[in-house]
């Protein structure tokens, strides 16, 4: 996060000092990033409000710009502005969606997580980050280059947030249940599966000083275990990756980041693999 030069902050017209802006001010205060404020609305009637807010933040020593824009819907608006401004992080407050509505329509925040080419921080609480626990969720069972690169990014961002907030980094990875019929003997016993997963995390532990007590390897589905461990730790931020799955399979299965978004008690930072970021940037350029 130290390398992010510009942050897009999505704010609501009726709540210009909301949670997203508070988190953005915290990060910008440490990283010296520029803040670009965005109101996603068709009617251009908030110019005076934006300028007043910009002036207030500049008095606090922050570098700020602001605009109101609209491109078909809120998530496309956010992505269009993020690309135009070259922002390396998007910050938005997330409110839980109605479960019935979510079953019929893909929520805008899910679409933002899927299609935004840069990391997205969904702010859910006003709990201070200072001195808190940061949970980085990885899937070390997938050991291909794409996943290893994504895992490194997740743990690295988690470490940076922990350093920024003088907090403590924890890492979680869910593993499958043992199967006696598994071809690999290591997957026939729970203990050997856990040992293999712990071994896969050694590089993270050594690089970032993560003790065994800060490493949580548990059996079960990730979308259930991540909220469980986050809640038990009282984590203030959960860092997770997404493969940006789209199409019919995505509609049926969803991404773990989307599924756990409403279940988590903490803020959520969502990252993507580099090749997906490049693909999404190409898609945005074609619009």
More confident position, 252 or 20: 20
Fold agreement (6-93, 133-283): yes
The CATH superfamily label for domain 6-93 reads: HUPs (3.40.50.620)
- The 3-class SS string of 125-178 reads CCCCCCCCEEEEECCCCCCCHHHHHHHHHHHHHHHHHHHHCCCEEEEEEEECCC
- pLDDT computed for residue 279 by the predictor: 47
Q: pLDDT digits over 144-173, tens only? A: 777 778 888 899 999 999 998 899 999 999
Q: Which whole-number Å values give the CA distances from 196 to 92, 165, 185, 188, in the listed order? A: 37, 32, 11, 12
Specify the higher pLDDT residue, 269 or 151: 269
Q: Is the CATH number 3.40.50.1980 carried by domain 133-283?
A: no
**Range 187-192 average pLDDT:** 64
Measure the CA–CA gap between 115 and 279, rounded to whole angstroms: 10
Residue spans per domain, the chain: 6-93, 133-283
Would you state the pLDDT for residue 181? Answer: 45
Tokens of 48: 């005076």
Give the whole-number percent of the chain exceeding pLDDT 70. 80
Phi, psi angles (nearest 5°) of residue 94: -110, 130
User: What is the per-residue pLDDT for 49?
Assistant: 86
pTM comes to 0.87
Mean pLDDT across 9-38: 88
Q: What is the 3-state secondary structure (H, E, C) of 63-109?
A: CEEEEEECECEHHHHHHHHHHHHCCCEEEEECCCCCHHHHHHCCCHH
Average pLDDT of span 38-62: 89
């Amino acid at each position: 996060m130290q390398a992010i030069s510009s942050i897009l902050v999505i704010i609501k017209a009726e709540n210009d000092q909301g949670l997203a802006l508070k988190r953005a001010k915290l990060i910008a205060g440490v990283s010296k990033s520029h803040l670009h404020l965005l109101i996603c609305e068709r009617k251009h009637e908030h110019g005076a409000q934006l300028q007043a807010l910009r002036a207030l933040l500049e008095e606090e020593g922050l570098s700020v710009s602001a605009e109101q824009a609209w491109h078909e819907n809120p998530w496309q608006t956010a992505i269009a502005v993020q690309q135009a401004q070259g922002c390396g992080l998007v910050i938005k407050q997330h409110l839980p969606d109605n479960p019935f509505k979510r079953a019929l329509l893909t929520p805008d925040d899910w679409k933002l997580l899927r299609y935004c080419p840069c990391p997205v921080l969904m702010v859910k609480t006003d709990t201070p980050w200072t001195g808190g626990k940061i949970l980085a969720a990885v899937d070390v069972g997938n050991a291909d280059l794409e996943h290893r690169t994504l895992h490194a990014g997740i743990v690295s961002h988690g470490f940076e947030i922990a350093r920024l907030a003088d907090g403590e980094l924890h890492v979680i990875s869910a593993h499958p249940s043992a199967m006696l019929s598994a071809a690999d003997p290591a997957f026939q016993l729970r203990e050997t599966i856990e040992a293999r997963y712990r071994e896969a995390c050694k590089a993270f532990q050594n690089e970032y000083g993560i003790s065994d007590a800060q490493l949580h390897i548990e059996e079960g589905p990730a979308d259930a275990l991540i909220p469980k461990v986050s809640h038990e730790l009282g984590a203030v931020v959960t860092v997770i990756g997404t493969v940006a799955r789209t199409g019919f399979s995505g509609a049926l299965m969803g991404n773990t980041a989307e599924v756990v978004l409403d279940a988590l008690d903490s803020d959520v930072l969502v990252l993507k693999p580099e090749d997906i970021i490049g693909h999404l940037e190409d898609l945005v350029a074609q619009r």
